[in-house]
């Protein structure tokens, strides 16, 4: 039995292609059913905005060609000849381990993919298309990913300037309970608001040049007070923190229009700048802008890349352990047959002796235990040797030999 992978992802396929190769739950089930017809009983589909990929176990080499045709047939409107990737065996398994750890993600080391992998397996298992082998491989990949995240903490090196900026605020002046003004209403401003609430900001006020745009923020952040853009300086005087993230080509916070009366921290997430750099000369003001943040982001990216290299050993070890388990599990049916044969002999011998001897209930239990233990002792070493076989050829040879010797 061989492990395989095929699919498209953001590295080779543009978004327009990925959009057309996305699997719905109904399509996943249809894919499972078609794959089962060609003998692939264990299969998992991982479909996200960045990837549309299938992991499966197959028996014959020709089934790789067949499953590729099934995949392409699911998306007849797309020419996948230049995008579809196929991997087999250890390469395919190592790829799944890297995916689970976020090492194949657009944002290196991100955490969301781990949950998506678990959901993909859960759906395959619920639909009846995941067996012990696929369950084992995915569980081991998830375990390895968790170990990498726990020990190396790759995802704790933020790559978002917004998040880095909020973290700097938290370290520098604290966020919990503080009065905050957010200027802007785009994605960056919304992301900043999310992080501010995550760190328990107190009263949060938002404004934008277009009042209607600012009001839309309340759909996600209903507790946010919305003010007009012209009121920003008045509100700023009572604030501890100002976060500005607009797309304006001009300054939106000018030094000549605002004189702080108490300590205040500006976080300028805009390019070009929103906040006048003359504030750096003001003793009551701390100014954090993208120059500082981008330097931190760059260092974090370098650190993530270093940790990725360090994580390769974790993955290599994890894949090897899983491959050993898969190899040994191929003898499970033979070992189980041996043990069933042993059980049958115990029952026959016990029934004969019990008829010939007058035994009490205690002696009957003892006799059965002794018979069972004696035969298990005889089989212990042969079973260990069967588990140590390290090639499929040896396994097949011993499987036939055991079948002939024990008539199983």
* Tens-binned pLDDT, residue by residue, of the chain (408 aa): 789 999 999 988 888 888 899 999 999 999 999 999 888 889 999 999 889 999 998 876 667 788 999 999 999 999 998 899 999 889 999 999 999 998 888 777 778 899 999 999 999 999 999 998 899 999 999 999 999 888 887 766 656 678 888 888 998 899 999 999 999 999 999 989 999 999 999 999 999 999 999 999 999 999 999 999 999 999 999 999 999 999 999 999 999 999 999 999 999 999 889 999 999 999 999 999 888 787 777 887 788 788 888 888 999 999 998 987 777 666 566 667 667 777 777 788 878 787 878 778 888 888 888 887 877 776 677 766 666 655 666 666 666 776 666 666
pTM: 0.63
User: How far, in Å, are 3, 19, 68, 74, 276 from residue 56 at the CA level?
Assistant: 6, 23, 12, 16, 57
Of 265, 299, 298, 295, nearest to 282 (Cα)? 265
Alpha helices in 25-160 (DSSP H): 25-37, 62-74, 89-100, 112-126, 132-152
Of 238, 273, 407, nearest to 334 (Cα)? 407
Beta bridge partners of 5: 55, 87
Upper half-sphere CA count for residue 311 (Cβ side, 13 Å): 30
Active-site positions?
Answer: 49
What is the DSSP secondary-structure string of 282-319? -TTEEEE-HHHHHHHHHHHHHHHHHHHHHHHHHHHHHH
Contacts of 393 (CB under 8 A, 6+ apart): none
- The whole-angstrom separation of Cα 243 and Cα 164 is 13
């Amino acid at each position: 039995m061989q492990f395989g992978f095929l699919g498209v992802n953001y590295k080779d396929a543009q978004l327009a292609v990925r959009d057309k190769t996305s699997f719905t739950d109904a399509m996943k089930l249809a894919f499972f059913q078609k794959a089962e017809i060609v003998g692939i009983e264990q299969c998992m589909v991982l479909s996200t905005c960045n990837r549309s990929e299938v992991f499966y176990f197959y028996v014959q080499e020709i089934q790789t060609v067949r499953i590729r045709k099934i995949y392409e047939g699911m998306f007849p409107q797309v020419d996948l000849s230049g995008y579809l990737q196929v991997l087999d065996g250890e390469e395919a398994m190592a790829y799944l381990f890297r995916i689970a750890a976020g090492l194949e993600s657009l944002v290196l080391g991100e955490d969301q993919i781990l949950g998506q992998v678990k959901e993909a397996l859960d759906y395959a298992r619920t639909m009846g298309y995941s067996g012990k082998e696929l369950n084992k491989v995915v569980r081991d990949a998830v375990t390895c990913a968790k170990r990498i995240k726990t020990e190396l903490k790759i995802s704790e090196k933020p790559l978002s300037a917004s998040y880095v900026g909020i973290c700097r605020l938290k370290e520098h002046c604290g966020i919990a309970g503080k009065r905050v003004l957010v200027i802007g209403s785009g994605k960056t401003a919304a992301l900043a608001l999310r992080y501010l609430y995550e760190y328990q900001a107190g009263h949060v006020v938002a404004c934008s040049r277009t009042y209607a745009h600012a009001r839309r923020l309340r759909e996600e952040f209903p507790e946010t007070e919305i003010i007009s853009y012209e009121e920003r300086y008045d509100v700023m005087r009572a604030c501890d923190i100002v976060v500005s993230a607009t797309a304006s080509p001009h300054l939106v916070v000018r030094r000549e229009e605002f004189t702080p009366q108490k300590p205040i921290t500006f976080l300028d997430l805009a390019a070009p700048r929103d906040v006048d750099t003359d504030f750096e000369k003001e003793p009551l003001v701390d100014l954090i802008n993208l120059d500082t943040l981008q330097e931190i982001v760059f260092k974090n990216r370098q650190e993530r890349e270093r940790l990725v290299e360090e994580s390769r050993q974790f993955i290599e070890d994890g894949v090897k352990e899983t491959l050993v388990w898969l190899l040994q599990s191929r003898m499970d049916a033979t070992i189980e047959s041996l043990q069933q044969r042993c059980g049958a002999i115990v029952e026959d011998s016990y029934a004969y002796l019990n008829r010939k001897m007058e035994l009490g209930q205690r002696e009957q239990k003892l006799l059965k235990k002794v018979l069972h233990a004696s035969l298990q002792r005889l089989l212990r070493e042969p079973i260990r040797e069967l588990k140590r076989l390290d090639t499929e050829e040896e396994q097949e040879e011993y499987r036939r030999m055991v079948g002939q010797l024990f008539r199983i």
